[in-house]
Structure 1
Amino acid sequence: MALAAPSLGSAAFAPFAAVALLAAFVIDDGPLFELFARPGDREDGRLNGLAGFALAATGLALLATVPRVKMPLTAFVAAVLVLAYGNLGGRLADARLDDEFLQTAGFVGAGLVAATVGQLAVANVTGAPAPLARFTFVAALGALVAALLRTAFYERDDPLVMITVGFVLWGVEVLAGPVSPTQTGISIALTVALGYAAYALGTASLAGMLTGVLLLLVAIGLGGFGWAIVLVSFFSIGGLATKFRYDHKAERGVAEKNEGARGTGNVLGNSAVSLVAVVGYAATQTMGHNLGSNLFILAFGGSVAAAMSDTLSSEIGGLFDNPRLITTFKPVPPGTDGGVTWQGEVAGIVGSALVAALAYVLLPLSTEPAALAVLVGGVAGMTVDSLLGATVEGSGLGNQAVNFLATLAGALAAVVAWLPL
């Protein structure tokens, strides 16, 4: 029905609306009911899951065919097929493999293939260009977004997943530039390899791994490989620093929870600002605002430097004795929020300098003042994190919120430091 949208035009919503009505009010028993019923549907005697899925597709179909709105038909079809065939792939993997990672891989793989084929079919019917590399990239992005959302939502929330994927792909269609076959192939291979390594080494949970690889894919699509490599430096070095002498840190009470595996909240707390910066950069590039583009480049570099600096200062500094509270410089027990050691501070500065060097080499604004500004942003973010830890963390803010504010401070500090230079 999704593939019929180009032929149906403004009536593309009608088949989905009909299915929603049949599922909600007509089909309450028999073979069709058993085919589509989920456990909760049998209790209610109604195909709520199918009805919700069809209603979500109805809404996206309207957005794709209303003249003044016009979501791209390819984005509409990709959103529907990612979830439909992703669910199928996940169920098939679940029936044969008792491994959460492989089940998620089944969802992402099936959704990616179906969405790519669906976009090609729509382009063929409408006579529009059919860039396979771009369609594959968009499908991969949609499949990862859907897989991540499904780790946080219940199965009955599939309609929300489909609508969210549709809007994400719509935004990508507007902001992303041309995507080459090489860019698509390398980006997918890179995200798969790094994602599996993070999950296998225990540096990220399944949801955290999906969040990380999704951020990398967005960075590649909207910025380029240089942006992704800067992010990878934080994910990889930060993850290894967390696992470094983990047992010893656990004995001291300063180790990360869950065996050091970082979840979605932790990944987003450290990377949400950089994600916004990448999207902002793409938007300003589309509008041709060079100054705005430069400011977002600096914000990205400063936020990643702050995340790296804070992570290394905490993970390395936690191995040493005699920490002092940053606000009073009085000795405090290891693991105290806001407690710092000189070894940790040095490690944080080195981490910030590493990101600044990578930003100088890999990001579009490759000047000495920009690199210095990124270094300043990283150290400022690390300091803000310690100050918040000593004052409000625990009583008013959680660790993830503190990480977000620290990376935001790093982004702003990099911009402020660069302007007079």
Structure 2
Amino acid sequence: MRGISSLALLPLALAAPTFHRRDELVPGKYIVVLSQDFIGAQAALVPEVERSQVYDAGSFKGFSAELSDSQVQELENSPQANGIAHTTIADPDEAVNQALFVTQSGAPSWGLGRVSHRQLGNEDYTYYRSAGEGTCAYIVDTGVYAEHVEFEGRATFLANFATNAPDATTDDNGHGTHVAGTIGSAAYGVAKKTQLYGIKVLDRGGYGYWSDVIAGIDFAVEDSKNRTNCPKGYVANMSLGGYRNQALNDAVAAAVDAGIFFAVAAGNDGFNADGFSPASEPKAFTVGATDSIDNQTAWSNYGQLVDAFAPGDTINSTYIGGADSWRTLSGTSMATPHVAGLGAYLLSVYGKASPSALGFRIKGLSTKGAVKNTVPNSGTPNYLVFNGATF
């Protein structure tokens, strides 16, 4: 019996902070910003660290210090630390700093403009030029059409675990290619320089078995252990789902524990996400969908297990059928790759981080209270993802 499917609706149509140059980083020197919940706990936070400066300016609390890699990892995993970043040499040359950002005028999918601006209505996509470079993104889906021109040679059809499509060597459905395009294609992508790896677990019809999905997750974990072209880290996207399955949730949790940030679709049933997998796995980053005027879509799942919202209605992206094909699709399937791409993007900007620290950063950057028509009394966090590139 088929247990899962991709989470796209029927197609509607065819067809930050200022960052300094990475070479100006001061090796081993970091700035740690403390959570407001723990501002009195500096002494207990890596107590052996000798602080260079201590900051106490109103709501801004923190310190600078020289930290080892193990201390950085400890802080990244601590709820007491709201953020950690390299110290850089300040550069007063405004023109140089502006050059670190790129603006894609009239981006072909409205979601790009939305995730790079606090306010509605901007069609341009602004992003830091690292754009996911040094990261790898696994797409556990219907596969990826690697020959699409928008992937610029950065996409690979890595493996096939779909029981009902054992001989497939490319995406024969289109869903996975659409997802991959939002993550990292040149025109439609959030992280335009990330490496894209398609793992096929769903068949031509967009359906599959939990056992195949778990095999795909396991493959991603093993592949990440031996891959050398992802020094900034790994993300994975699963725009699929079905009724709650603990084995699937456990597999996702294990992958997160292994260091892969997993963005997963909340689901398109209009119900609480706690009844569905992998959306109900707390270690995953579960994504709900908004439309172009910031409404929670009527079909998006919701609830306390949703981590944030992202654009998911009428999203344009790459598709199968030709080297330059594209299509408009809707669903939490389309919202989720905005977050996977954002994860890769932030890893390239800030450096490698644990999945929990990366999720914490995404929620910290998000625009709070922007989503309208959320389900009352559902406990759904009102976070709309944002890349921090504009003010």
- TM class by shorter chain equals under 0.3
By relative contact order (CA 8 Å, sep 6+), the higher-ranking structure is: 2
Which structure carries more strand by proportion? 2
Which structure carries more helix by proportion? 1
TM-score in terms of structure 2 length: 0.25
TM-score in terms of structure 1 length: 0.23
